[in-house]
Amino acid sequence: MPPGRDDLSPAAAAELAGYDFELPAEQVAQHPPAERDGARMMVMARGAGEPVHARVVDLPQSLREGDLLVVNTTRVVPARLRGRKASGGAAEALLLGPDDATAGTWRALVRHGGRQRVGVKLRFGVEPDALDAEVVALLGDGEVRLAFASAADPYSVGEPPLPPYIQRDAPDPADVERYQTVFAREPGAVAAPTAGLHLSPSVLTALEARGVERAEVVLHVGAGTFRPVSERDLEAGQLHAERYELPEATARAIERTRTRGGRVFAVGTTTTRVLETCATEGGNVAGGGGETRLFLRPGARFRVVDGLLTNFHLPRSSLVMLVAAFCGANGRERVLAAYAEAVAQGYRFFSYGDAMLIRPD
């Protein structure tokens, strides 16, 4: 369970407390299943009914000919850097992307012993390929601007940015493959769109054979995925900005699906946010790109997404709030009951954990 927040108003604290649940530490998945599609899958109807227990390999049987499966093709970049301060002591950085201010500068979250300040010198990677960096600005919300040599590629000394609840000193060799979807193509994410991690080539082939069409969006998962929901988020009704792209081909695929009476299934909360950001009143989407701050919480209207494949999410997170919103008027109670059953049944939680499929009624 995440630590409590003492900077929230009573109203905000009460709202977030409504999405809390107990989770034994041993059910936080530390490694992926042996097979990519080997996870368990809880299946529940969107509006009512008791969940049933299946496996990800059964996914094709839950969809039907004419449905559309939409995936996020973002690619996780090796954004986690390990190193040391020039003055001694371990240091880590999570690169958030190049900064437009000056060539060779990057936005980052940096952790080391001592106070964060301009002028801190760091060295990342392993000799003889290590890279020097310096904190040249404090940007707020914990972000800093790091300056590297202008020709340096800090990703060259990076590793997969596994989330902090995966507790090991360094990624396993398997993480390079398994913390990436099989359809990952567009570099830019600092966390994986984890529902997509379950989809193997054989499952995708079986879906195609069943007559399920596939379409793509891109949402580059940002650092906000590691941050707790804040009172500012709740008051503004918006989340951290994340870059997205919805191709015209996907807009046409959704229109075809509507015309033939099929259903749109989103793989993950990231895909859901893109589709609903681009939604039209008629349940189609407009192609395009930009940044989304869409915060889908109970009371939100879903215009495009009919079904959702997702993971089991952190307590008090915007992700579990999205899932509750998707399940309708009593969604919070239904989702918390489903999570309690998942805990009782020994499901594995979070990025490398098991899946949940929420089907249309």
Per-residue pLDDT tens for 125-168? 999 999 999 999 999 888 999 999 888 999 999 999 999 899 98
Distances (CA, A) of 229 to 109, 181, 215: 17, 26, 30
Is residue 24 reached through a cis peptide bond, with omega within 30 degrees of 0 on the bond before it? Answer: no
Residue 1: pLDDT band by 50, 70, 90 thresholds?
very low
Model pLDDT, residue 317: 93
Residue 264 belongs to what H/E stretch?
strand 264-267
Residues near 27 by Cβ (< 8 Å), separated by ≥ 6? Answer: 343, 346, 347, 348, 349, 353
The pLDDT tens digits of the residues spanning 247-266 come to: 999 999 999 999 999 999 99
Model pLDDT, residue 48: 86
Model pLDDT, residue 124: 97
Residue 105 belongs to what H/E stretch?
strand 105-112
Q: Which domains does the chain have, with CATH numbers?
A: 13-76+175-359 (3.40.1780.10), 80-157 (2.40.10)
What's the chain's average pLDDT? 94
- What is the separation of C-alpha 175 from the centre of its chain, rounded to a whole number of angstroms? 16
pTM, to two decimals: 0.94
